[in-house]
Structure 1
């Protein structure tokens, strides 16, 4: 239905800033309308909310999807989830308990939960989902992640299931909130195999919406599932338009063609003062920064990495580039909303200390390296330009090389030799703990790669003490003791043997018509649909 409209958005965006201003006037008029009432004092709401988003889902299957969680959870549920307040709560599980040895987790399922096909959910579906996830002979995208903390799924009865761990896993419930734990229909696993989640017909979840249609890279339509176990949501249809051009999304919002859209933080100053537009900001688990290539000729030396860190004025970067949207300087290697975070404060610029460290390392006159920048990260180029200027003041010569998406992704791939095909000394990255726990937020990225490949440790960071602390924390069931282990590990990663220069903690930002109500997100950017509606 929306292909012509999508084309119109792109054409409108191409007209430039003057046309944007004109469209803004039109959009303000549309968004600021009186709103219809069904009766005195009663507001009429739309049956359909139209959303513009920058990218499509590659799979509507949590075990294969690696794009985002934005719409997966509209269709699927899981044993436990994170609430909008970042609390771990039951979803399909009514209750659970763990055995005395910490290795058997028993979940009691809610009864009467229905898939969109009408089939009732039972333990057999949970087991089939986990058997597929844990199958190392035919692995899905997240098999290696899951097999690290789950060894087996057992059925006790139709509404009771057990997950067995090889040892006590402290962040076990947090790990279960990852998208790979979304529960699939056992019949659909058998019917569609590797094609599950590639078409609307192959998607059968227990979430508040069912996937009615999907025209890839164009449009996804979600229809309310009235038998949703959490209660029917207020808006009947969610129409999701895939609009890669940010200007086109902005035009669509301003003209009233869409009700809400994802926006980059750089767009906020333009939109926040427009009549009829509302900006929604949510805390997230994300951060931005520049990671060190620890296999680099110079930056393999801890002292030179420290020199780079102390040479940078982080607060100046925030003031110049991020403060207008409310983002703040990082104070740790993880975002404050990640469990296990410790506040070390912003690392203050200290050029004298940077010079001392360079002299101690044998490079009093400086050294040089290049920085890889993928500019799809918000304000990444501007951030790096400011950092290059700071480094020059202490005699460090850094040059910037911008790369496209293909180059960035290929350079991050597994390399069997540290530094192989990777000439850059630093590279701009986004960081986030998908489980909102330091285990995934630290160990997955900074642990010495156990198989000799870089895996997610793209900069080849290796510190035996960090490895020991993070592995101890993963099995430490006492929360206070676990927090202390993470504090020690973060001290090393952030200051003593820096793995990166973290710059800004991220916000998730949406823009909408001011008639939109009830938008809620958790720290993983997951939309909650139970109150979302839009006045006519």
Structure 2
């Protein structure tokens, strides 16, 4: 008995937990499962969500969001900011005393440098167009940066806030971007430790963090291409949280009384859709064929297959819970007869052959693509499903190899501008999502940029969605509701479960109970 008491006491001192299978695991590490290995750890050029999860822990944001989606400076590099009356000058006052992980102080010069990277065409940022309206970047002193815009831009804070990452000028200029991607340095709550290729990325707590030092000392992002393996690891408490848990797995876990887990769900600021390659040399340059595909898809069947009650059929691009949503946009409700009529009008009475691309690491997207394949076959369109690993998928879809591809879009801000901005013909996202040009859409998006009256702005959002959906540059499938399952020993603050702050973006606020 005495020996057992000593063992238990030591366990408490060391913070150890004895798991059901007898393994002892220290509670100094939170392990998060992600489905794909990040393509690159570069805030400027990354396109994948997985890299964003990791970089958000390494870097600090210029401006932060609260649980209601408002812009705030608490937890941000900017201690304060001002906007001129005419909306063309933004002045950021940088907080003093913040240091990067390499020991150098963060100043306004680093913020200026970060803006310059997004503005540099040679960097190839997909967000480049968001920064094109910047006319001047003026260092007023070591801690004050003035940004002068060519014209007012109401969406500036939404689209041009550095993706939440202020980067270290001296370090990057010293080692170069390739070395930075191998060993990223920021000023955030966690430091980069090591990238174990094919396995996980390891971070450690920044003990000198200027804001709230993270409760949990170590953080690992583990790669699980097979979600079923991740679920088993979660049940065995080998991992603590699964990013982007598929709806069927969430429902299965929640209905399992033996699962020692906590659960949460929230409407996420995201839409899932299929995108068409609309370039001149693509068969889908003909909008009648895009419309035919849209009418041939039964969205309710797709949702039942992969989401259950964790999705809502989408109408337009902006999620229905937002004031800018467009309930009157053409939803192309399932109508196979109309699809066949359009095929005949376009000169394809017997249908045609095409391909649907999907990232292999996302089971739901692959399953839905296979279901769409069957639905298209019913109207005479023979579609081969092509699955590629994430990096190859991004290259293939961005370069126009994919006639149809299964996509999703997420926003991390309360303003939904990014949902419609990639329809703008001059947007750097436009070619990535198949190339689309409509002069009326361009004009409406330009008006949205400068309209300061909120109600009128939401009207313009609705109008542009109604106009664009007649062209079907992409076909909205659904707006998801995210279901989360995580270790029951983990505490995640309730206010992180909302439309704008996915809990995984604030792991530094998590703790073990």
1:455 maps to 2:417: no
1:374 maps to 2:350: no
- Return closer, same or farther for 1:321/1:238 CA change in 2, 3 Å cut-off: closer
Q: Which residue number corresponds to residue 195 of structure 1?
A: 178
Question: 2:427 & 2:185 partners in 1: Cα distance?
Answer: 37
Kept after mapping to 2: 8 A contact 1:178/1:435: no
Per-residue Cα deviation, 1:300-339 (whole angstroms, up to 9, x for no partner): 4444544443444322332343215x12211222334677
Q: Which residue number corresponds to residue 62 of structure 2?
A: 79
Question: 1:213 & 1:302 partners in 2: Cα distance?
Answer: 48
Question: 1:450 & 1:113 partners in 2: Cα distance?
Answer: 34
Q: Which residue number corresponds to residue 527 of structure 1?
A: 505
Per-residue Cα deviation, 1:387-411 (whole angstroms, up to 9, x for no partner): 4555566xx3122212132664443
Kept after mapping to 1: 8 A contact 2:275/2:433: no
Per-residue Cα deviation, 1:259-300 (whole angstroms, up to 9, x for no partner): 222333342233223420234434333322222344578754
Kept after mapping to 2: 8 A contact 1:322/1:328: no
Q: Which residue number corresponds to residue 224 of structure 2?
A: 243
In structure 2, the gaps of 5 or more residues are 1-17
1:433 Cα deviation (Å)? 4.2
Q: Which residue number corresponds to residue 470 of structure 1?
A: 445
Kept after mapping to 2: 8 A contact 1:287/1:503: yes
Q: 2:53 aligns with which of 70, 79, 84?
A: 70
Q: Which residue number corresponds to residue 120 of structure 1?
A: 105
Q: Which residue number corresponds to residue 502 of structure 1?
A: 476
Matches within 5 A, 1:33-48: 46-48=27-29
- Return closer, same or farther for 1:169/1:337 CA change in 2, 3 Å cut-off: farther
Kept after mapping to 2: 8 A contact 1:447/1:457: no
Q: Which residue number corresponds to residue 56 of structure 1?
A: 37
Q: Which residue number corresponds to residue 5 of structure 1?
A: none
- Return closer, same or farther for 1:55/1:310 CA change in 2, 3 Å cut-off: closer
TM-score (norm 2): 0.81
Q: Which residue number corresponds to residue 6 of structure 2?
A: none
Per-residue Cα deviation, 1:201-234 (whole angstroms, up to 9, x for no partner): xx33221222234333333332222332322222
1:368 Cα deviation (Å)? 3.4
- Return closer, same or farther for 1:72/1:299 CA change in 2, 3 Å cut-off: closer
For residue 206 of structure 1, give the secondary structure of its aligned residue in structure 2: coil
For residue 38 of structure 2, give the secondary structure of its aligned residue in structure 1: coil
1:403 maps to 2:367: no
Q: Which residue number corresponds to residue 25 of structure 1?
A: none
Kept after mapping to 2: 8 A contact 1:286/1:507: no
TM-score (norm 1): 0.78
Question: 1:58 & 1:498 partners in 2: Cα distance?
Answer: 29
1:130 Cα deviation (Å)? 2.5
Q: Which residue number corresponds to residue 160 of structure 2?
A: 176
Q: Which residue number corresponds to residue 3 of structure 2?
A: none
Q: How many residues align?
A: 479
Q: 2:312 aligns with which of 325, 328, 331?
A: 328
- Return closer, same or farther for 1:148/1:435 CA change in 2, 3 Å cut-off: farther
Kept after mapping to 1: 8 A contact 2:358/2:369: no
Kept after mapping to 2: 8 A contact 1:285/1:524: no
Question: 1:143 & 1:293 partners in 2: Cα distance?
Answer: 20
Kept after mapping to 2: 8 A contact 1:31/1:276: no
Kept after mapping to 2: 8 A contact 1:52/1:249: yes
- Return closer, same or farther for 1:244/1:428 CA change in 2, 3 Å cut-off: closer
In structure 1, the gaps of 5 or more residues are 1-28, 37-44, 416-420
1:219 maps to 2:219: no
